[in-house]
Amino acid sequence: MTELFPSRLPDLGPAQPHLSARAAGWLRHIYRKATTTDDWSEDGNPASWWDQKSQEPLLSFPRFDLSESSYAIGVMADQTPAWREVYAEILDGLVERHITYWAAVDWLTQFGHDPRRAHYPQQWIDDYIPERLVGAYDTPGWVANGIAPHGLQPDPIGADGNLFFKGWLNLIQSMHAYVTGEDKWGNPFLVAGVGRTRFEWTQHRMVDLLASQWTEHPLGPHCENTKIWPYCLSAAGLGLKLYDSIFDQSSHSVFDRWLAETKQRFYSIDDTTGCLKGVVFYHDPVIDHTQWQPPLGALPVCFYLAPRSRSSPNIFTMRRSARLVGTTRRSRSWPGLNHADLPWP
C-alpha cells in the first residue's frame, strides 16, 4: 500500500511546486489528528493530542488547536492543489469538531463570575487584572456566560458575546470553501448549546449576525462577556475578508470601519519617533478599563491584518517579524517598528 505522505519525498527540484519534508511531516500529523475518530460531545473527551493546556487561562481550550491548525492548509493547498481532497478531509475534521460541546466548552460551562478569582496566581494578576479590581474581576479566558449586560445565552453562535468562537469558525469554514470550491457549510448544521441543546445555523447566517453585531458595537463585539480583543477581532476580520472574496459579499466593511475607529485608541504611538509604545491587550467597555501590553503584542494582530492588503508596501513580512521578535517582551518601546509598518487600510 502506498503511504499517503511518504517519509522520504522525491527531489522535484526548485521549479516544481512541492512541500518540504518538514511540511509533509506536519501534514501527515494533522491529517491523522483530523481523521482519527474521537468524541467531542458532552459524553466524551477530545483525543489527548488536541491541545488543552497551552497559554492558560487564555487559549487552553481545544478549539484553538483547531483554528491554529487550519492556516497552513490554505497555503499548502495553493502549493499542491492536486491534494485538494486531502486538504478538504482535514478541514472537514476541524470544522466538524468546532461545532461540538468541547469546542464551546467554556461558553457552555463557565457561568457567572469565576469562583477562583480571589485566588488567581500572581502572574495572572500582574498581566491580566486591573489593579483596582484584584480579587473582584474575572481573568481573560473566563467567559462569564450569564452576567450583565447579556444574561445567560445558551447558543454559542447566537450569543451577543463569544466573538472568538464564531469569528474563527467562519475563518475555518471559509478556508474549506476556498480549498474545495464547495459551499458545504452554507447548508444547515447544528452547534452544541447549554444543557445539551442544539441550534441550527448556516455559515451565511452566522456571517450576517457577526456583521450586524459588529455594526451595532463599533469598538467590536465581546469575546468573554465585557472584554473586547483586537487580536480576536483581527482574526474575525480576516475570516470576513476571505468569505467576501469567495462569495462576492461585503461583510468585511465592518472590519474596515473598526480599524479606522480603533487605530488611535488601541495603539499608543510615540509622537517623536512614530514607534509603537503600547498595544491594547483587551478593553472592557462596561467598567471603561483598557489593559495595555508592550509593543510586541502588535505582532499577532499583524499576522491577521497583512493578508488583507498583499500589495501594500508596508506589509509586515515574516522575515521582518522574526528580526523584531528579538526585542524583549517588557521593553517600553519597539525600536524599528514604526506606526507606518502596520498594514492599515
Given a contact cutoff of 8 angstroms between Cβ atoms, the answer to whether 154 and 197 are in contact is yes
pLDDT class for 323, splitting at 50, 70, 90? very low
Place of cell 467562519: 170
Pairwise CA distance, residues 44 & 35, whole Å: 17
Q: Which helix (H) or strand (E) holds 98?
A: helix 84-98
Given a contact cutoff of 8 angstroms between Cβ atoms, the answer to whether 307 and 238 are in contact is yes
8 or 286: which carries more pLDDT confidence?
286
The predicted structure's pLDDT at residue 11: 57
> pLDDT digits over 200-230, tens only?
999 999 999 999 999 999 999 999 999 999 9
Percentage of the residues of the chain whose pLDDT score is greater than 70: 85
Give the residue ranges of DSSP H helices in 119-199: 122-128, 163-180
Given a contact cutoff of 8 angstroms between Cβ atoms, the answer to whether 242 and 175 are in contact is yes
Nearest Cα to Cα of residue 196 among 104, 310, 284, 287: 104
Strands 189-192 and 198-201: antiparallel
Pairwise CA distance, residues 128 & 122, whole Å: 10
The predicted structure's pLDDT at residue 328: 40
Q: What is the mean pLDDT of residues 98-106?
A: 98
β-partners of residue 190 are 200
The predicted structure's pLDDT at residue 320: 46
What are the Cα distances from residue 155, in Å, to 77, 107, 256, 283? 33, 9, 27, 24
pLDDT class for 276, splitting at 50, 70, 90? confident
Longest Cα–Cα distance of the chain, Å, equals 65
Given a contact cutoff of 8 angstroms between Cβ atoms, the answer to whether 290 and 231 are in contact is no
Pairwise CA distance, residues 14 & 34, whole Å: 30
105 or 279: which carries more pLDDT confidence?
105
The predicted structure's pLDDT at residue 246: 97
Pairwise CA distance, residues 54 & 316, whole Å: 26
The structural domains of the chain, with segments of one domain joined by +, span 30-262, 266-345
Pairwise CA distance, residues 98 & 92, whole Å: 10
Give the residue ranges of DSSP H helices in 277-344: 298-305, 318-324
pTM of the predicted model, to two decimals? 0.88
